[in-house]
Amino acid sequence: MASTGKRSGAGALTDTFFTVTELARDLSVTPRTIRFYEDKGLIAPRRAGTMRVYTKRDRARMVLILRGKRLGFSLREIKDYLDLYDMDPSQAEQIRLLLKKVQNRLEMLEDQRLALEETIVELKEIEEQANSALAQEAADKKAAG
């Protein structure tokens, strides 16, 4: 469950925040996963003393990171996408980049699917030939025996 913290001073934190354990539980990942993406510079939690404090923004970034990984994008591609969000409040560049990356990924997956389908057909042919050869060998042994 998210906590709500209020702090005074220059680094005022007034919206909802999560501990690493809370965020990990919320996203169904391990705290180690969150720290990994932090080490890669994809999220940058604030500190409350020695504790990491993850905001709604960090959570949203983690959702995008996990989705990007699930869809097969590299950490570099995900980082480029997230960085554009910070630079372009209108999100136009981010959307253009996303569209290009999605189109490239779709093309690559289509190529992989075709290659996979061809491989399956070829393996089935080999399986059929091997079964036929074994059946013929069994028939020859029976006829000879």
Distances (CA, A) of 121 to 20, 32, 107, 125: 47, 41, 21, 6
Phi and psi dihedrals of 108, rounded to 5? -65, -45
Supply the pLDDT for residue 16.
78
For residue 79, the tally of other CB atoms under 10 A from its CB is 17
pTM above 0.75, yes or no: no
Supply the pLDDT for residue 92.
83
Q: Which residues of the chain have pLDDT under 70?
A: 1-15, 88-89
Asked whether the beta carbons of 5 and 53 are under 8 A apart, the reply is yes
φ/ψ bin of 49: left (φ > 0), alpha (ψ from -120 to 50), beta (otherwise): left
Strand (E) positions, the chain? 3-4, 16-18, 46-48, 51-55
Supply the pLDDT for residue 83.
82
What is the spatial distance between Cα 84 and Cα 90, in angstroms, rounded to a whole number? 10
Supply the pLDDT for residue 15.
55
What pLDDT digit, counting tens, does each position of 75-117 carry?
Answer: 999 998 888 777 766 778 888 888 998 899 999 999 999 999 9
